[in-house]
Amino acid sequence: MTLERLDIHSLRNLQPTRWQPNAHINVVYGANASGKTSLLEAVHILGLGRSFRHKSLLSSIQHQQDSLHLYAKVRQKCGASYRLAIQRERQQERSLIYIQEQSVRTTAELAACLPIQLITPDSLRLLEGAPQLRRQYLDWGAFHAHAHFLPAWQGLQNALKQRNSLLKHAKIDPSYLQLWDNELIRYTQVVHQARLAYLEMLQPVFIQYLQALTLNLSIELTYYPGWDKKYEYSDALTSSRARDQAQGFTSLGAQRADLRIRYQGHNALNILSRGQQKLVVSALKLAQGALLTDKACVYLVDDLAAELDAQHRKNFCQLLVQQGKQVFMTCIDAKHLVPMETFSEADVSWFHVEQGQLTPVDFSRSIG
Ligand SMILES: Nc1ncnc2c1ncn2[C@@H]1O[C@H](COP(=O)(O)OP(=O)(O)OP(=O)(O)O)[C@@H](O)[C@H]1O
């Protein structure tokens, strides 16, 4: 799957842009505040319906403009193509999303058409941030690996909402609570099994990438399902019922799951250097991309140079090239920060950004 064409209107400082990127490696370079990250942001919004910079798309709309418009043509591996479009008006509550000119209501449909792996200086939050971020990471993989994951996950969210709202009442009909318990247990089992199955596939690939990035430490990925593993979820839920009623919410379950990243029995975050943490995150992202064999994904790598030294940048770029997926990477100075030799076998296009204007560059004349 590759992005064949991207049209951008009224996104941050970007001039109206029509971009026909390379199917493999795209390097975007330019000074600070030129608009490099905004270009990656455009791809991200098209793949997930939201920015990676802010919760609301309102701040992405260009100042003095009423709306932003993005359009993409995505070529699937089978040869079929999809047209994706997003429009966000200042005055509207939500974005309008279209696939093949048909309005769609959920961003999950976009995510299925354009899977994205994002690597930014902020990606370290995957290790240091709240469990929700690691749950989202795991669920991204389970969503793409198992067709039954999404309906079960949606069912789980609904059952949780209903049960939590019931728990807030002073008087609760036990049979009604049991009904939502049963729903929750049913969906939790599917989500839990899909996460476990995905983690089993992920572990060995993650280790391979860690080693290829020359981090020969035995980092372990362990999964906390959201309740004590010694018990079935149904038993854990029954035994937490009184506490849940007192607190007014469901305290145990898949909504509390976490992917724990351990080194020598400790939280890896407390032991590894920032550079090592960055390699762990890179290996996690590369492993997810590698596992998407039937669909492929687009890598967005913002600020390649951040926190990786020259040798590790080289290893990282080599692994990206080997995967053969479409990559958009940004850096301030292409000549000094991009390990050119790793791209000798790859199809690469270079783009310069200046004051929001994107220009293709003839590599040999302008950089070499
Ligand atoms: N809503 C907006 N409307 C217009 N311009 C904006 C808006 N939001 C941000 N900007 C400006 O867009 C410019 C581009 O920002 P962007 O983060 O894409 O740059 P960058 O090239 O990635 O910079 P850096 O290398 O410093 O990370 C900045 O000057 C920023 O102030």
Domain ranges of the chain: 1-115+298-368, 125-291
Tell me the CA–centroid distance for residue 213 and ligand 1, in Å.
Answer: 31
In the prediction, which pLDDT does 366 show?
Answer: 54
Tell me how far the alpha carbon of residue 60 lies from the centroid of ligand 1, in angstroms: 9
To test ligand 1's pocket by mutation, which of 9, 10, 11, 13 has the most ligand atoms within 8 angstroms of CB?
Answer: 13
Pair 3, 326: CB distance under 8 Å: yes
> How far apart are the C-alpha atoms of 36 and 329, rounded to whole Å?
9
Alpha carbon separation from 87 to 57, 73, 174 (Å, rounded): 10, 15, 46
∠ CA 227-193-197, nearest 5°, is: 120
86: nearest Cα among 74, 97, 100, 72:
97
Give 224-276 pLDDT, tens digit per residue: 999 999 999 999 999 999 999 999 999 999 999 999 999 988 999 999 998 89
Radius of gyration of the chain (CA): 22
pLDDT digits over 162-205, tens only?
A: 999 999 987 888 899 999 999 999 999 999 999 999 999 999 99
User: What does the pLDDT look like over 295-305, one tens digit per residue?
Assistant: 789 999 998 88
Q: Is the pTM of this model over 0.90?
A: yes
Q: What is the pLDDT of residue 365?
A: 55
- Structural tokens at position 66: 């009423």
Output the CA 353–ligand 1 centroid distance in Å: 11
| C-alpha 17: how far from chain center | 24
Reported as a pLDDT band with limits 50, 70 and 90, residue 76 is confident
pLDDT at 131 over 60: yes
Distance in angstroms (rounded) separating the CA atoms of residues 286 and 296 = 12
Q: What is the ipTM of this complex?
A: 0.98
Whole-number pLDDT of residue 21: 96
Terminal CA-CA length for the chain: 31
CATH of domain 125-291: 1.20.1050.90
Q: Which atom of ligand 1 is nearest to the CA of 39?
A: 18
Distances (CA, A) of 49 to 104, 113, 155, 218: 11, 12, 21, 36
Length of the chain: 368
Closest-CA residue, ligand 1 atom 8, reads: 12
Max CA distance (Å), the chain: 76
User: Domain 1-115+298-368 is of which CATH architecture?
Assistant: 3-Layer(aba) Sandwich (3.40)
- CA–CA distance from 317 to each of 24, 157, 214, 348 (Å)? 12, 38, 13, 12
